[in-house]
Amino acid sequence: MLLKNLRPANDYDRFATETLEPWDLLFISRIRQIARDMQPGSLADIGTATGVVPVRLGVDPSMAGWRFIGVDLDPTMLEEGMPRILELGLAERIDMQVGDALDLPFADNSLTMAVGRATLHHLPDKAKSLTEMFRVIEAGGVALVHDMRRDAPQTLLDRFTAMRAEANYPPSHVEEKITLDEAHALVEEAGLTPYATIYSPSVGLGALGFEILLKKPALV
């Protein structure tokens, strides 16, 4: 199965591991920063593709004690990522599971963290994907969504296109992405404004995208 505007799993994995590293590291360091203030628990990466994010987290000593679930609608993506998980001895800590971001295969309040990078723009009902992530995190839990901005500075969009071309990868479908204002409207539509912080850095590669951070209040 090949979802709209996605490359085959092996080509995506090559691009994700060879070219996306700087952007990966921004996302990983953000997760590490948030996790520092939490007890280790379970973290699901929604739209995980070949599991690059859970693998990076799984080999990170600061994430010891966490277990990870990579969820993707496309089983060929999950299959492509499995050999790396096995080779690194991470099979006990990373579970790869077919699932839909719009109907997550988790009970209410069952995860410590839910994250998703570059998945939001693929989803037909983006507000539903946010409410799903919020539904599955426990009280005191966090959901973190990163995606690219359609209204990112043109110089950065050009730089990203050049990085992709160097890796023999086609340009990003910028028209599918949302703007920062649309991210605010989305959170509002999902009814999650009281729990959300939306942020986009003004400099560096991170300015290509935005983050939506959702915090479920702890039980008192």
Nearer to ligand SAM, 16 or 114 (CB): 16
Cα 130 to the chain's mean position, in Å? 12
Interface with ligand SAM, residue 74, by CB under 6 A: yes
Q: CA nearest 137: which of 99, 102, 170, 104?
A: 104
Residues numbered 77 to 96 that lie near ligand SAM (CB under 6 A) are 77
Q: Which range touches ligand SAM (CB under 6 A), out of 58-66, 69-77, 85-93, 162-170? A: 69-77
Among 31, 52, 55, 57, interactor with ligand SAM by CB under 6 A: 52
Nearer to ligand SAM, 52 or 192 (CB): 52
**Residue 65 CB, nearest approach to ligand SAM (Å):** 23
Interface with ligand SAM, residue 49, by CB under 6 A: yes
- Contact by Cβ (8 Å): 212, 190: no
Half-sphere exposure of 145 (CA within 13 A, CB side): 31
Residues numbered 118 to 177 that lie near ligand SAM (CB under 6 A) are 118-119, 122-123
Residue 122 identity (one-letter amino acid): H
Residue ranges of E strands in the chain? 42-46, 67-72, 94-98, 111-117, 137-148, 196-199, 209-215
The C-alpha atoms of residue 23 and residue 14 are separated, in whole angstroms, by 15
Q: Which residues of the chain form contacts with ligand SAM (CB under 6 A)?
A: 3, 6, 16, 47-49, 52-53, 71-74, 77, 100-102, 117-119, 122-123
